[in-house]
Structure 1
Amino acid sequence: MSEYILEMEHISKTFPGVKALDNVELKVQKGEVHALIGENGAGKSTLIKVLAGIHGADEGGKYLFEGEKADIQEPMDATLKGMSIIYQDLSLFPNLSVAENIYIGRDSKKKPWTKINWKSMKKLANKALAELDMDIDLNKKVELLSIAQQQMIEIARALAFDSKLIVMDEPTSSLSSGEVEKLYNVIDKLKERGISVIFISHKLKELFRVSDRFTVLRDGQYVGTYDVNEIDEQGLIKKMVGREVVYETNKEKAETGEKLFEISSFSKEGNFKDIDLTLHRGEILAITGLVGSGRTELAQSIFGITKNVQGEMWLKGEELKISSSEDAVKKGIAYVPEARQTQGLVLEQSVINNMTLPIIDTLRNKLKLIDRNVEKNLTDQYIKSLDVRPAIPELTADKLSGGNQQKVVIGKWLSAQPKLLIIDEPTNGIDIGAKTEIHKLLRRMVNEGIGVIMISSELPEVLSVSDRILVMSRGRIAGEMNTVDADQEEIMKLALDNEGIESGNDTKTPNGTHHQEV
C-alpha cells in the first residue's frame, strides 16, 4: 500500500501561447502538511486546478489518489474522492445558513426533487463543528460571520465530506494573529486524524510552523521537495526565485518637498475620529494598525466610497469635496483596494480592457469609437514598464498570477495619471520576488511626483518601503514616526494602544459590517 495519499507526476498544462506547467511533480504523504510554494506565476494555482478537476492536464501525466488512478473530470469528482479545496476567495453561499453550507453538495448524485432531511443536516453540521471545537449557531447566515469563522465552516464542510486531503490556499491572508493561531491548532488536529493538508502561502514563518515538507515550483517547473528539517528560510527563498533576496529596512531619510496632500479632522462615526494626515512630495506614507483599526475605512473615505464623512481635504493646495469614487478619480485620486480580484479588476476581461478602463472615454475618436491603436500602444507601454508577465494584452486577468494582477491594477490607475495613489495591502498574497518589484514601482511613482499612501499590516514591508509611518488604533492615530527611527516593537505598542473611539475591538466581515470580537 502506498505511503502517499496523492501522487502527481509528469503533469503539464498548456494554454494558448502559455505553458503553465511543464513536467511537474507533487507527492503528498498520508497525515502530513505539505507546503506548495513558489513565486506568483510558478504554477501553484494551475496545479491545484488540475488536481481539483477544473483544468484537464496535457496527456502523459500520472495522477493517483490513495494508490489508484484518479479520473477527475470535474470538481465534484474530486470532492467525492475525498479531496476538498479551500480557496483564498471562500466559496460559501452567503445567504444560506451555516448548516446548509456545510451540508450542500452531499445530495448532488440524488434526484433534484429529493427532499432534504433537515434533522440529518444539522446533526452532520454539529458533528463537523464539534470536531473543530467551534460553537456557531447553525441557523446563522454565513454572511454575518467573520472571515475566520467562514474559513472554519469551509474546513467543517470538508470534514462532513470525509475528506482525506484538504488544500488551503493562502488561508491566513485575512486573519488576525489570534485567528491564525486557532487555524494552526485546527491543522494540528487534522494531522492527528490522519488527514493530509496541502498548504499554500507566501508567509515563510507560518510555512515552517505548520509544514512537514515543501514542494517548490518555479516558472511552471518542478524544483524539488524538501523536508522541513533540511532547509532554512533563505535556502527556500533561493529555490523559489533562483537567487538570494535580501530584505532591508529603509534607514535613509527621504528628501521631501512641499505639502502634496492633507486631511484635517477627518471623522466617520463608528470607524475613525479626528484624523489629521499630511503627505509631502517625495515620500511614501505608510498607515498601519491591527484589523479593525479603521485604516481601510479611512482610505475608502478619502476615495469617496464611504459617505457622510466629516472633515477637510486638500490636494496640491486645492480643497476637495469628494462625493463619490468617480469624483475622486476626476480630482486625481486613485485607490488600489486589498481585494484586487473582486474590486480592482474585471477578471473575465482582458489586460488591455482592465488597464484602460478609467480613461476609456478619452480614447474615443471623433466618431465616438475607441481608437484601438492608441489603446493597444498605451497598454503595451504599461505592460513593458511594469513587467507584466506574460506580456499578452489580450489575455484575461484571471489567467494572471496575483503579482501580475496587482501590476495590472496599478497600471490601470497609472493610465489615469493620478496625483495621489492610495494602495491597500499592496503585496498581500504576492510572492517574495514580485513584492520587491511592487515596492520598487511605488518608489518610482513617488520619484515621478505621484503621492503614495500605503496601507499595510506587514511590518517588515512598512519599515522597508515607507519614509514615514502613521499607526492607527481603534479609529484614531496612535502615533507617527519617521521610518529611520522606527522598529517593529514600537509600532506594535502603538497599534495595541487601548485609547480610541468607543466601537470595541471590531473585526470586519466580508460584507463590511462589524462584530464584537471577544
Structure 2
Amino acid sequence: MSQPASTHSVDSQRGDIDFAPPILEADRTPLLKLENISKVFGGVRALREVKFDVMPGEVLCLAGENGCGKSTIIKIISGVYTPEPGAVMQMDGESIEGLDPARARDLGIQVIWQDLALFPEMTVAENIAFEQNLGPRPRVVNYGKMKEAARRILERLGVSIDLNRSVRSLPIAQRQIVAIARALVRDARLVFMDEPTASLSHAETEALLKIVRRLSADGIAVVFVSHRLAEVLNVCTRVTVLRDGQYVGTFPTEGMTQTRLTELMTGRTFDYEVRSTDLSAAPVVFEVQGLSRRREYRDVSFKVRKGEILGLTGRLGAGRTEVALSLFGMTRPAAGSMRIEGKALSPRSNRDAIRAGIAYVSEDRLQLGLVQQQSIGDNTVSTVLNDLLDSTQLISSRKRNALIHDWIQQLAVKIGKPDDAVSTLSGGNQQRIVLAKWLATNPKFLILDSPTVGVDVGARAGIFAIIHKLAAGGMAILLISDEIPEVYFNSDRILHMRDGRIVTEYVPGKTTMEQIERDVHA
C-alpha cells in the first residue's frame, strides 16, 4: 500500500464500516470453529474474545496489522499456546480440548511460518518426507520410500523440483513449495500460511496462488496471512479482520477494496493522492550514463534531482537490484559512468559509496539489513562507529546513546529498551531502524530497495511519511519496488525496467496506474 495524504479516524473498537458478514449455508459444518478465544501474557491481553470459522476447502484471509494477534491465534490453533478458560474450539463440530502440537498435526492442522523452518543442508526429499522416519525408536532410513512420497506430493501440486538438491540451493519460491509439500505429507486438512509471498516476485506470487487454489479444489482449507492486500482479495473468499487483539468481523472479499480493508485493519480512513512534482529545474544529485554489466543490465541512464523520489519498477529478473548493487559499490559495472553532485564516481566498494554520500536499504532486511541477534542500539550506530570515537579512540557512550536516542525519536520507533535485540521489534519498526542506521551517515542519495517487504499496511504509511519528509528536506531518493501502487503514489517519476534495460518513463497522474501495471506485467 502507499502513503496516504491524510487520515481520518473511524470507530477504533470495531471499525464499523458498511459491510455485512457473509451468511453461511445452514447445512454446512465449519471445519474449524473458534469462539471466545482470549490470551493473556504477563498481564497483557493479547487476544480478547476472538471468534472465527473456516469452511472445508475455503481460502480465508486472516488480516490485521503487526501486533494485532494473528500469530497468537495461530499458535493457539496449532497447540503451541493454551487459550484462557472459556474458549470454544471445534473441529468438524466436535470439541477439541487439551490441544498440543502433536494432536493438532494429527487433526490435520499445519502451519507454514514465514521463516519456513526447513533444514537447509538436507535435500528436498528429506525435508518433505522426514517425518516418516520419526518414531520412538531409531530405524534405518528408507530413502527410496522418502523420495517416492516427496515425488507424489510435488506431482499433486503440479510442480517439479530436483529431489536431490539441498534446500539451501533453492530460490525462496521453491522453498515455499517444499514447505507446503511437507505439510501435505501429514494429510493436512487446514493449512495456515504466514506471509507466504513476502519475499516473492509478482510472477512467483502468481505461481504460489495457483497452488493455493489447487489445495482448495482438493478440499484443503487454507488460512492466508499477508500484508499484500491485492493478492488477498484475489485468492480468498472471505477475510477475518483482527485489530488490537479483538475481532472486528468476517467479510466477503467480493466487492471489498484494498482501501476499505485497510480501514478495517487500522481504524483509519486513507485518502490516496498522486505525489508527482515537477522538479526538472532542481539540481541533479545523482546521474548514471550508459551503465552496463554483463548478463545483469545494459545501457542504464537516469538522473535523480534534489528532493526527488524516482521510482524504479519491473518484474523479477529485470535487473533493478543488480543496478542498485553497482550504485552502492557492491559490484562493478563493465561500462558507463556515475556522478554525484557533478563529481565523477567509480566506487570500488560500499565504503567508497558511503564516503561519497550514498546509502542503500536492502530488500533483505532480515539477512542484509540488520544483525538480528544484536541490540537495537548497536544496529542503529553500526554504520557510523568512527564518528563515535573519543580522544582515546574508544566509542563514547555519551555520543552513542545520544545518536540512538535522536534517531529513535526522529523516526518514532516503538521500542522497549535500546539494549533489546532488534529481532524483538515488529517488521515496521525494524525497517525504521534500517533507515536510521543509513540516515545516520547523512547521505545525499538514498537507495530504497523494496523498503516495505514484510511490513503491514499501517506501518507502510508511516515509513512513506518518513521518506516524503526526507525528500522535502532535499534528499534524492531511488525507490525500487515491484508493487505498482507503491511507486505510483510515492514517486515523482517512474522508470520501468525490463530485461536489464530502462524501457519507459512515466509521470504519475499523467499515466494511469492500470496502464503501468499492464506494461509491467505484459
Alpha-carbon distance between aligned partners in 2 of 1:50 and 1:418, rounded to the nearest angstrom: 45
Number of the residue aligned with 1:86: 112
| Residue in structure 1 matched with residue 238 of structure 2 by the alignment | 213
Offset of residue 283 of structure 1: 0.6
Partner residue in 1 for 2:122: 96
User: SS at 1:265's partner residue?
Assistant: strand
Deviation at 1:232, TM superposition (A): 5.0
Q: CA separation of 1:396/1:49 partners in 2, compared to 1, >3 Å: closer, same or farther? A: farther
Corresponding position of 2:508: 483
User: Corresponding residue for 1:116?
Assistant: 141
**Number of the residue aligned with 1:454:** 479
Distance (whole Å) between structure 2 residues aligned to residue 251 and residue 342 of structure 1: 33
**Are the aligned partners of 1:11 and 1:57 in contact in 2 as well (CA < 8 Å)?**
no
> CA 1:191 to 1:381, structure 2 compared with 1: closer, same or farther past 3 Å?
same
Amino acid at match of 1:191: S
| RMSD of aligned Cα (Å) | 2.9
> Which residue in 2 is equivalent to 1:507?
none
Q: What letter matches 1:241 in structure 2?
A: T
**Which range moves more in the overlay, 416-425 or 186-195?**
186-195
Quick one: higher RCO (CA 8 Å, sep 6+), 1 or 2?
2
* Letter of the structure 2 residue corresponding to residue 356 of structure 1: V
Match of 1:505 in 2: none
Deviation readout 1:357-400 (Å, 9 max, x if unpaired): 11233223334443334323322222222222246433322222
Counterpart-to-counterpart distance in 1, 2:388 and 2:373: 21
Structure 1 residue 255, shift from structure 2 partner: 6.6
What is the deviation of 1:230? Answer: 8.1
How many residues align? The count is 493
Q: What's 2:247 paired with?
A: 222
- Listed one character per residue, the Cα deviations across residues 126-164 of structure 1 (whole Å, up to 9, x for unaligned) are 211121122333223334444333222221111112122
Give the CA deviation at 1:63. Answer: 7.0
The secondary structure found in structure 1 opposite 2:118 is coil
Correspondences of 1:19-34 after superposition (within 5 Å):
20-34=46-60
- Structure 1: stretches of 5+ with no match in the other structure: 498-518
CA contact (8 A) 1:463 1:486 kept: no
Corresponding position: 1:465 with 2:510: no
Q: Quick one: structure 1 residues 290 and 15, their matched pair in 2 at CA, closer, same or farther if it must change by over 3 Å? A: farther
- How far apart, CA to CA, are the structure 2 residues paired with 1:319 and 1:72? 65
**Match for 2:245: what amino acid?**
G
Structure 2, gaps ≥5 residues long: 1-27
**Partner of residue 191, structure 1:** 216
Find the aligned partners of 1:461 and 1:51 in 2 and give their Cα distance. Answer: 34
Distance in 2, matches of 1:447 and 1:294, equals 28
Indicate if the aligned counterparts of 2:128 and 2:150 stay in contact, CA closer than 8 A: yes
- Is the aligned partner of 1:257 residue 2:282? yes
Q: Deviations over 1:274-328 (max 9, x none)?
A: 2112111111111111110000111011112224643322212222231222332
Choose from 363, 388, 412 the match for 1:338: 363
Asked if the contact 2:276/2:493 (under 8 Å) is kept, the reply is: no
Q: 1:131 to 1:448 in 2, by over 3 A?
A: same
CA distance, structure 2, for counterparts of residue 424 and residue 172 of structure 1: 17
- Percent identity between matched residues is 38
* 1:408 maps to which of 408, 428, 433: 433
- Residue aligned with 2:275, SS: coil
Counterpart-to-counterpart distance in 2, 1:375 and 1:19: 35
SS in 1 for 2:271: coil
- Secondary structure (helix, strand or coil) at the match of 1:478 reads strand
| 2: CA distance, partners of 1:258 / 1:68 | 68
Q: What is the aligned partner in structure 2 of residue 36 from structure 1? A: 62
Give the superposition deviation at 1:484.
4.2
The answer on whether the counterparts of 2:58 and 2:237 sit within 8 Å (CA) in structure 1 is: yes
For the structure 1 residues 105 and 421, does the alpha-carbon distance in structure 2 shift closer, same or farther, using more than 3 Å as the test?
A: farther
Partner of 1:5: 32
Q: 1:48 aligns with which of 47, 71, 74?
A: 74
Three-state SS of the structure 1 residue aligned to 2:134 is coil
What does residue 290 of structure 1 align with? 315
Asked if the contact 1:419/1:451 (under 8 Å) is kept, the reply is yes
Cα distance in 2 for residues equivalent to 1:312 and 1:401: 39
1:266: Cα distance to partner? 1.5
- Where 1:222 maps in the other structure, the secondary structure is strand
Report matched runs for 1:362-511 at 5 Å. Answer: 362-390=387-415, 392-492=417-517, 495=520
Structure 1 position 262, deviation (Å): 1.3
Task: Check whether the contact 1:263–1:314 (CA below 8 A) recurs between aligned residues.
Answer: yes
CA-to-aligned-CA distance 1:459-495 (integer Å, 9 cap, x gap): 1121111112221110111122333433335435654
3-state SS of 1:106 partner: helix
TM-score, scaled relative to structure 1 = 0.86
Structure 1 residues 290 and 181: CA distance shift in structure 2, 3 A: closer
C-alpha distance in 1, partners of 2:413/2:82?
25
Offset, 1:36: 0.9
Q: 3-state SS of the aligned residue for 1:358?
A: coil
Indicate the larger mover: 288-297 or 141-150.
Answer: 141-150
**CA separation in 2, counterparts of 1:308 and 1:61?**
64
| In 2: Cα distance, 1:494 partner to 1:163 partner | 39
SS in 2 for 1:109: coil
> Following the alignment from structure 2 to structure 1, what is the Cα–Cα distance between the partners of residues 169 and 142?
24
2:131 aligned counterpart, secondary structure = coil
Q: Which amino acid aligns with 1:340?
A: R
Letter aligned with residue 423 of structure 1:
L
Say if 1:265 and 1:11 are closer, same or farther in 2 by CA, change over 3 A. same
